[in-house]
């Protein structure tokens, strides 16, 4: 549209200049240049009147021509060469051709782990997995390449997810395996996937017809309280860390306080602040999905960069603790971050009856649109994206069963009266803007010479009983138990105790 306005203005200016070139000489010359100028005053006066009349008529005709050309360009949303009235489906096609559809969260790597133990040789993602015996026993079997293509996915954040049961155990080891399988998957299908780490990479991959593929780590427990691990994740290409999953870490509280082991921390601890600062310095996005509201507020107070909710919906529409409350959304506007709406029926519509199979009173697309509308009405359209949570949830609204269905949501927004530009923003422009801002904060900080943070977590911040995670002894634990001291002596794969007992650690943490 901006181009069309520019063209229209240039055309109008050219036409006015032409009109002036033709009419001004007529108005401001006193005689016909082809004839001798000496004439009687009456003759001159009569000649002048006819010239002025001719000039005015010429100018009027030119103005009419100019308006005829420029007004349709200014007041239609389509090319003059095409039929002007486009359907919402046609508008959507243009949007998806030009803007990468970005989804903030997909748990497909978890499915690769559970269904085929990360053995990519056992699957062909070019084929539908709907009837694949290894995959179709899982209710969250939502992904294969044909369905991603049908859904016109432009960029996907693939989640590295290891559950809280592995906290204080081997969550880092397993996280590395999930990063590995994600990268191998991307490399195995180069005609469809392209590994990228920034906004520019997304737009370039989209232009090449590839699905830009990024990695986010879902659960702060996987950094094992180590900023060094956080930095290594960044080097592996991880571009967001969800501060918690469904358990507290020793430095951040998760969304539900009633589960075992939770409630030790209130929001973010001082070490949690350091995690955020190091993420800002690195250029890794802070993801607040799964965290509790106080952690959300604390993180936005600390973070210089925009934060994201990679897969969360709206608390005021459905009162679930995984959803984002209004005051946090207001704060998100000031932070210039993004909430990427989760499609899980249980977060979209709180009265869905999940005890039945299939669930009764399930959500429909209009219920999802309600979440988008709510955020738009509360804080504006610039802070909304899509984080459907496919492969991470079992029940989805009718019509949104898998990754092939994204266009239905966008078309529903157009049908609900959203403008083309607004839908472009939700589709991908908002997330690209957030990613660029995060990159800018990082480069600003690094240009100022900010060094990697060397803070260590204080001993008293780490629970002695490890109750929010596994404390089971494993075979490996037995092998190494004499070689490694731990705070409890229970869990020998839990590294890092060297710094917990280092007297210098406390002093460092003051910085």
Active site residues: 105, 107, 218, 245, 290, 311, 389
Nearest of 280, 326, 329, 325 to residue 302 by alpha carbon: 280
Strand 384-386 with 285-287, pairing = unpaired
Between 227-236 and 270-282, two packed helices, what is the crossing angle to 10 degrees? 30
CA distance 459 to 267: 18
Quote the Cα angle for 409-413-419, to 5°.
Answer: 140
Can you tell me which residue has the tokens 């589709």? 427
Question: How long, in residues, is the chain?
Answer: 511
> What is the spatial distance between Cα 114 and Cα 183, in angstroms, rounded to a whole number?
17
Measured distance CA(298)–CA(474) in Å, rounded: 36
Rounded Cα distance, 379 and 383, in Å: 8
Phi, psi of 226 (to 5 degrees): -130, 120
Q: Which residues contact 248 (CB under 8 A, 6 or more apart)?
A: 254, 261, 262, 263, 264, 265, 468
How many whole angstroms separate alpha carbon 199 and alpha carbon 227?
24
Dihedrals φ, ψ of 211, to 5°? -90, 105
- Contact of 206 with 155, CB cutoff 8 Å: yes
DSSP H helical segments within 380-429, as ranges? 406-415, 420-424
Cα torsion 421, 422, 425, 430: sign: positive
Which residues make Cβ contacts (< 8 Å) with residue 349, sequence separation at least 6? 318, 361, 362, 363, 367, 397
Centre a 10 Å sphere on the Cβ of residue 266 and count the other Cβ atoms it contains: 12
The stretches of 170-237 forming alpha helices (DSSP H) are: 171-188, 199-207, 227-236
Q: How far is CA 350 from the centre of its chain?
A: 24
Secondary structure, 3-state, 60-105:
HHHHHHHHHHHHHHHHCCCCCCCCCCCCHHHHHHHHHHHCCCEEEE
Half-sphere exposure of 490 (CA within 13 A, CB side): 12
In order of 77, 245, 475, the CA distances from 324 in angstroms are 35, 15, 41
DSSP class of 30: S
Tokens 């021509």 appear where? 65
């Amino acid at each position: 549209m901006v181009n069309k306005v520019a063209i229209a203005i240039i055309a109008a200016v050219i036409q006015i200049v032409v009109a002036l070139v033709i009419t001004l000489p007529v108005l401001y010359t006193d005689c016909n240049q082809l004839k001798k100028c000496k004439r009687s005053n009456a003759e001159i006066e009569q000649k002048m009147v006819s010239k002025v009349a001719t000039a005015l008529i010429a100018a009027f005709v030119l103005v009419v021509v100019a308006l005829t050309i420029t007004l349709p360009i200014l007041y239609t949303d389509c090319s003059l060469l095409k039929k002007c009235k486009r359907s919402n489906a046609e508008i959507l096609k243009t949007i998806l051709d030009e803007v990468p559809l970005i989804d903030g969260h997909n748990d497909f790597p978890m499915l690769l782990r559970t269904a085929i133990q990360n053995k990519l040789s056992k699957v062909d993602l070019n084929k539908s997995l709907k009837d694949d015996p290894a995959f179709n026993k899982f209710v969250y079997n939502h992904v294969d390449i044909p369905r991603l293509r049908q859904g016109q996915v432009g960029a996907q954040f693939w989640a590295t997810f290891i559950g809280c049961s592995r906290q204080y155990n081997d969550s880092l080891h397993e996280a590395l395996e999930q990063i590995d399988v994600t990268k191998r998957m991307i490399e195995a299908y180069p005609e469809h996937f392209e590994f990228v780490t920034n906004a520019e990479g997304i737009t370039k991959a989209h232009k090449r017809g590839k699905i830009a593929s990024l990695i986010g780590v879902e659960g702060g427990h996987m950094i094992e309280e180590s900023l060094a691990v956080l930095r290594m994740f960044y080097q592996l290409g991880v571009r967001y860390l969800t501060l918690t999953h469904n358990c507290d870490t020793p430095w951040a509280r998760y969304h539900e306080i009633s589960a075992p082991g939770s409630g030790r921390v209130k929001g973010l601890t001082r070490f949690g602040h350091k995690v955020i600062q190091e993420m800002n310095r690195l250029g890794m996005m802070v993801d607040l999905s799964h965290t509790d509201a106080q952690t959300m507020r604390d993180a936005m107070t600390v973070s210089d960069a925009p934060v994201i909710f990679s897969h969360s919906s709206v608390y005021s529409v459905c009162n679930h603790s995984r959803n984002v409350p209004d005051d946090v959304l207001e704060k998100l506007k000031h932070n210039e971050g993004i909430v990427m709406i989760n499609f899980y029926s249980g977060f979209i519509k709180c009265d869905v009856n999940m005890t039945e199979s299939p669930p009764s009173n399930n959500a429909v697309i209009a219920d999802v649109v309600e979440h988008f509308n709510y955020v738009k009405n509360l804080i504006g359209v610039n802070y909304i994206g899509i984080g459907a949570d496919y492969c991470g949830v079992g029940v989805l609204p009718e019509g949104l069963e898998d990754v092939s269905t994204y266009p239905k949501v966008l078309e529903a927004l157009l049908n609900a009266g959203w403008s083309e530009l607004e839908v472009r923003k939700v589709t991908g422009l908002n997330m690209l803007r957030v990613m660029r801002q995060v990159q800018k904060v990082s480069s600003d900080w690094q240009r100022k010479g900010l060094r990697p943070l060397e803070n260590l977590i204080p001993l008293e911040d780490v629970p002695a009983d490890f109750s929010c995670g596994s404390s089971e002894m494993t075979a490996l634990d037995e092998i190494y138990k004499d070689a490694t001291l731990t705070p409890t002596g229970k869990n020998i794969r839990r590294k890092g105790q060297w710094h917990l007992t280092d007297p210098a650690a406390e002093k460092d943490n003051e910085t």
